[in-house]
A and B are shown apart, each in its own frame.
Chain A
């Protein structure tokens, strides 16, 4: 059974049609990349899939339940999302912020136990922040804050991860590291990931499937191998593209001056 499905989904924002009649099925073990030019509505679609915004028509289902019918707390145990930006207004420590990922798993009066702290620590270690536990979040660099936000998502342990440009602000090494971790997460039997990306080559290398948004509600979706080609990418980004073969699969290179 698919973890996340959309039926007949119509999403609009401010008069722009993001998708029309989207029938999507994100199955277990799948890692979806969401591709499209700037301002096409990738974030809007992600918010809709996360149940944060209402679609114009159609519905989103988590398992077999309409997403709007689930209480947020229950939903948060199964679905987590990395937002495009994280702004910390109030000061807090890195470890305490990572621990907020346990929030949906704890009862009202419950405190985080040693088990939860362990999870937070290993997530911080996974994103190369193990020495940062006691540091203040307001002093982090852009890339460090990004990795902390991802660590918090790991601590939340959702079956389905939605991610809005997870590699923003990251250096090359951490880009690959985070993408690899998402792939490992999605490789689990009951889990999947759905991820807006700007870098076609990260999608080509790590994703199993892609959804492309062309504007005016047009979209197409399918396995990476079938979807990513010079022609589809030229149409998608309105930019000539050449395909190169590398040891880790096909790569796409923009042409023109």
Chain B
């Protein structure tokens, strides 16, 4: 376990950087505000650029932070659930179900405001499907869940390809952006914040149990965990987090895989430290990625999913290499 002071320092730093990243996100974009105008806009929502900052940029940054935190927490949970450090939030088909439903909506020409609801419905359908197919009788089987989930995800991918092939040309770009993950025109729904806070609290209460579960199902049972119940709980928590994130921002890749992994390298595998660190860093990472996505080719906007992967891959390889050298 990290020493308490070091841990507090890390959390403090991540929280501070998170706040700073949101403020930075409000300053830069296709309309470049000078520092003075920016400060004026920030302090006075009624000023010339107040609307831009308060109605567009800040809500978008807040949404990015929340989605990043949701995905990172979900990734941490999935990795313990499947006892595999390479598991990510999308592996069991939740995002596939959500995407299929959202793309179906786009094909049918529904308005953008209907999409989050549809995505939720698709994600829930997928969660229930995988849950009921893999639950069965007898002891917990992680392999059965993994296979059911992965095959279900492939099924969704096939249906999505079908929609992409048959869908009207005009909606292809929107579909692509959804599949890559995009935060344009998003604001932060209040329920997502409530969900994040709630699930985070539950995660912290379960953190020591998850440490034990990471050592294997039998070991966890011998150390007093009713593993079947706990693991299904973890599956549902992780799935709901993923569903929330995807319904807001589409399939932003890589965050849920890389952030938990990076944090494991830095803070170790104690979930009492890992959960807050991953949530904070996940939020920070996605705000910065999205800010880059808005500015790097401004006035063109990239889908943030492109940036997360482009940033994430080298960052990850670098840290992995350093960890190896240290060992």
A positions within 8 Å CB-CB of B: 50, 52, 71-77, 80-81, 83, 86-93, 95-97, 100-101, 103-104, 106, 108-109, 111, 136, 139, 156
Q: Which residues of B contact A72 (CB under 8 A)?
A: 221, 224-226
Binary CB contact string for chain B from 213 to 237 against chain A (1 if under 8 A, 0 otherwise): 0111011011111100000000000
Q: Sorted from nearest, which 4 A-B pairs have the closest CB atoms?
A: A76-B224, A104-B224, A73-B224, A90-B269
| A88 pairs with B208, CB closer than 8 A | no
- Using A89-B85, A89-B214, A92-B269 as known contacts, say yes or no to A71 and B219 having CB atoms under 8 A apart: no
Task: Determine the chain A residues whose CB is within 8 A of the CB of B225 once the complex forms.
Answer: 72-73, 103
Cα distance, A109 to B268, chains bound together (Å): 20
Contact, CB under 8 Å: B215 / A88 = yes
Q: Is the CB of B85 within 8 A of A90?
A: yes
Asked whether A96 lies within 8 Å of B270 as measured between CB atoms, the reply is yes
- Residues in A neighbouring B79, C-beta threshold 8 A: 90
CB distance from B229 to the nearest CB of A (A): 10
Check A96 against B268 for contact (C-beta < 8 Å): yes
For B85, the chain A residues whose CB sits under 8 A away are 89-90
Given contacts A91-B269, A92-B269, A96-B1, contact A156 B223 (CB under 8 A): yes
Report whether B268 and A71 are in contact in the complex, using a CB–CB cutoff of 8 Å: no
With A93-B268, A100-B215 given, can you name 19 additional A-B contacts, CB distance below 8 Å? A72-B225, A73-B224, A73-B226, A76-B222, A89-B83, A90-B85, A92-B214, A92-B269, A92-B270, A96-B270, A100-B212, A103-B209, A103-B225, A104-B223, A108-B206, A109-B204, A109-B205, A111-B272, A136-B327
Distance in Å from the Cβ of B120 to the closest Cβ of chain A? 30
Chain A proximity of B258: nearest CB distance (Å): 16
Determine which of B80, B83, B205, B215 lies in contact with A97 in the assembled complex, contact meaning CB atoms within 8 Å.
B215
Interface string of B303-327 (1 = CB under 8 A from A): 0000000000000000000000001
Are A100 and B211 in contact (CB-based, < 8 A)? yes
| Chain A residues with CB under 8 A of B216 | 86-87, 89
- Asked whether B264 is an interface residue with its Cβ less than 8 Å from the other chain, the reply is yes
B84 proximal to A (CB < 8 A): yes
- A71 CA to B229 CA in the complex, in Å? 12
How many Å lie between the Cα of A235 and that of B290 in the bound state?
A: 73
Interchain nearest-CB distance for B228 vs A (Å):
10
Using CB atoms, name the residue of chain A closest to B205: A108
Identify the closest chain B residue to A74 (Cβ).
B224
A77 and B223 in contact (CB under 8 A), knowing A83-B218, A92-B268? no
Smallest CB gap from A99: residue in B: B1
Q: Which of A89, A109, A139 contacts B84 (CB 8 A)?
A: A89
CB distance from A217 to the nearest CB of B (A): 24
Question: A108 contacts which chain B residues (CB < 8 A)?
Answer: 205-206, 208
Kindly provide the distance from the CB of B62 to the nearest chain A CB, expressed in whole angstroms.
29
**Min CB distance, A56 to chain B, in Å?**
15
